[in-house]
Amino acid sequence: MPSIVLFFEVHQPYRLGRNIYAKLIEKSLKGRLDQNDLEEAIFDNELNRYVLNRVADRCYIPATKIIIENIERFKNTSKPFKVTFSISGVLLEQAVKWRRDVIEVFQRAVETGMVELTEQTYYHSMAAFMPYYGFEELREQILEHRRIIQELFNYTPLSIENTEFTYNNDLACFLENMGYKVVLTEGVEWVLGWRSPNYVYRARDCDIRVLTRNYRLSDDIGFRFSDRKWDQYPLTADKYASWLSATPGDIILIAVDYETFGEHHWPETGIYEFLRWLPIEVGKYWNLEFTTPMEVIEKYQPRDIYDVPPWTTISWADERDLSAWFGNELQIEAFKILADLRPYIRALENPGLLRIWKKLTISDHFYYMATKFGSIGEVHAYFSPYKNASIAYSLFIEAIGGLLQAVVEEVKENPRRILSRLEVPGERAFYFNLPSGEYVGVSARSIRELLLALEKAPLESILFHLNRGDIERWVSDVFYARELAEEIAEIRGEPGDINEKLDKLKKAIKLWITE
């Protein structure tokens, strides 16, 4: 009896505003910018609210009511109707602010006991793939999502998907270590080979279960439902149920964007009727039942290992890889700039700035920067609020620029705070070399580590860097501590041997990180 897992991805991003620099200048002329001013300038909340209201009226409210009606209709039968939702934290956050009825209708659905909630990142982000800080940031965003799910639904998920069904072996084992039992991802043909997506698999090197999406049957609803050129148009519930019944395997994971129902396919296409009649038609087949991810892994044992090395990470978008978000230089550069800013944001311990930074990790920002052609390019264009990738990139850089300026201003006000906490990634560390260029095996990623390095590095190397002004430049350019850099420059210019200068240098640094 194939178990049908009907999975809905529910997400709306915070879209960037236009003319960010102009807005910031206008606000700064009226006085000092605070975090609320910065957030208001960066994000187009008028558009975000408009889109949420439209999608709530077309999809979230009517589609969820249909699901609740079907749950109630079949609740006490031998084949109850069950669905799974994965709702991003930023969607829930917007709904709390602007459409509380969306929260309420999802709560009603969960209260039926026939809905499983799947975990994801709060910001629906590509955090896992961030240089240096990926899994650290991923953990934070998953825990933040867990908190809002517990707060709004009194529910703790045990199933999880990484954003956009992105998956690899390392990710799977990391998620298992966080306590999750099953991870959902794409059924990619080159990974499956001769095997079917319609079975439970196990991750390589750990025991977490893996469910793989049947993308053909999913895309029949998600993409082809209203396509009049499709040779199977129109897709009716009875026709689709017959396809499901004829599909071999233990499970059939049907995973689509929830906005499919009323937003991507408008109500007049018949998409509501399809959703309303699907459980009725499925119920006519003895070999079909609806279930959820956690129920599936309790019922079926894994058939094989789903092996996806980290260098071949998969997703459910485009070519089933990461190219939807990191497929061109614009996307890669934008993501790297964002990642480089993270240690500064965290060192400041400013919740407002950290929140803005995390909202810039939302995957949609990078999706809009894609430069693809053909049908894939059309999908990107459909979702993007901008005319092209260049506009999406330039707005993102404006947003980063505004955030960076706020960081610099706060650092200038209290440089000791960031000096005592900031640790930069390896590529921005200070490496001690000899005049010949030979690395001496000593480096520093923070000012505290610089103190330790001055104890370990050869005097010849310290003198070489001090005389060239390397240390003061690093302190100024990386930590924005220009006053400390000026003190180091004064020490460099004073008379005396290297030991005297080294003692003064250590004392100056200690004062800056202990006061």
Q: Is the peptide bond before 80 cis (omega within 30 degrees of 0)?
A: no
Query: Cα–Cα distance between 24 and 31 in angstroms, integer?
Result: 11
User: CA–CA distance from 361 to each of 138, 197, 334 (Å)?
Assistant: 11, 30, 10
Three-class HEC string of 213-260:
ECHHHHHHHHCCCCCCCCCCCCCCHHHHHHHHHCCCCCEEEEEEEHHH
Query: Cα–Cα distance between 342 and 133 in angstroms, integer?
Result: 8
Cβ neighbours for 420, distance < 8 A, ≥ 6 positions apart? 447, 448, 513, 514
Query: 172 and 277 share a domain?
Result: yes
Question: DSSP per residue over 318-350, as a string?
Answer: TTTSSHHHHSSHHHHHHHHHHHHHHHHHHHHT-
Query: Cα–Cα distance between 509 and 514 in angstroms, integer?
Result: 9
> H or E stretch including 503?
helix 498-514
Residue 237 lies in a domain: yes
Query: 237 and 342 share a domain?
Result: no
- The whole-number pLDDT of residue 30 equals 65
CB 481 within 8 A of CB 508: no
Query: Cα–Cα distance between 71 and 114 in angstroms, integer?
Result: 7
Which residues are registered as beta bridge partners of 509? none
Query: 315 and 374 share a domain?
Result: no
Q: Give the burial class of 280: count Cβ atoms within 10 A of its Cβ; 0-12 exposed, 13-18 middle, 19 or more buried.
A: middle
Query: 333 and 320 share a domain?
Result: no
Query: 188 and 295 share a domain?
Result: yes
| Dihedral (Cα; 38, 39, 44, 47), 10-degree rounding | -150
pLDDT digits (tens), the chain, 515 positions: 789 999 999 999 999 999 888 888 877 766 666 788 899 999 999 999 999 999 999 999 999 999 999 999 999 999 999 999 999 999 999 999 999 999 999 999 999 999 999 999 999 999 999 988 899 999 999 999 999 999 999 999 999 999 999 999 999 999 999 999 999 999 999 999 999 999 999 999 999 999 999 999 999 999 999 999 999 999 999 999 999 999 999 999 999 999 999 999 999 999 999 999 999 999 999 999 999 999 999 999 999 999 999 999 999 999 999 999 999 999 999 999 999 999 999 998 899 999 999 999 999 999 999 999 998 998 988 899 998 999 999 999 999 999 998 888 888 777 777 888 899 988 899 999 999 999 999 999 999 999 999 999 999 999 999 999 999 999 999 988 888 999 999 999 888 888 899 999 999 999 888 75
The CA-CA-CA angle for residues 139, 140, 146, to 5°, reads 90
- The whole-number pLDDT of residue 416 equals 79
Residue 104 lies in a domain: no
Domain boundary among 373, 395, 418: 418
Query: 319 and 334 share a domain?
Result: no
Q: Give the burial class of 226: count Cβ atoms within 10 A of its Cβ; 0-12 exposed, 13-18 middle, 19 or more buried.
A: middle
Query: 465 and 484 share a domain?
Result: yes
Question: DSSP per residue over 141-158, as a string?
Answer: HHHHHHHHHHHHH-----
Work out the number of other CB atoms within 10 angstroms of the CB of residue 57: 15
Query: Cα–Cα distance between 179 and 207 in angstroms, integer?
Result: 11
Which residues are registered as beta bridge partners of 85? 8, 117
Pair of tokens at residue 130: 């961030």
- The whole-number pLDDT of residue 360 equals 98
CATH number at 122 reads 3.20.110.20
Residue 497 lies in a domain: yes
- Tell me the three state secondary structure of residue 124: coil
Query: 406 and 434 share a domain?
Result: no
- The whole-number pLDDT of residue 29 equals 65
| Residue whose C-alpha is closest to residue 172's, from 164, 157, 163, 162 | 162
Query: 86 and 198 share a domain?
Result: yes
| Residue whose C-alpha is closest to residue 291's, from 38, 477, 74 | 74
Query: 215 and 166 share a domain?
Result: yes
CB 214 within 8 A of CB 254: yes
Query: Cα–Cα distance between 351 and 360 in angstroms, integer?
Result: 14
Domain boundary among 273, 295, 324: 324
Pair of tokens at residue 18: 């236009």
Query: 184 and 316 share a domain?
Result: yes
| Residue whose C-alpha is closest to residue 238's, from 264, 270, 216 | 270
Domain boundary among 418, 453, 488: 418
- The whole-number pLDDT of residue 22 equals 84
Query: Cα–Cα distance between 7 and 316 in angstroms, integer?
Result: 13
Residue 45 lies in a domain: no
Residue 202 lies in a domain: yes
- Domain count across the chain: 3
Cβ neighbours for 325, distance < 8 A, ≥ 6 positions apart? 126, 164, 331, 335, 363, 366, 367, 370
| Residue whose C-alpha is closest to residue 254's, from 228, 226, 225 | 225
- The whole-number pLDDT of residue 495 equals 85
Query: 87 and 212 share a domain?
Result: yes
Q: Which domain holds residue 265?
A: 3-13+70-97+109-324
Residue 64 lies in a domain: no
What residues are annotated to the active site? 164
> H or E stretch including 110?
helix 100-111
Residue 60 lies in a domain: no
Residue 449 lies in a domain: yes
- The whole-number pLDDT of residue 132 equals 87
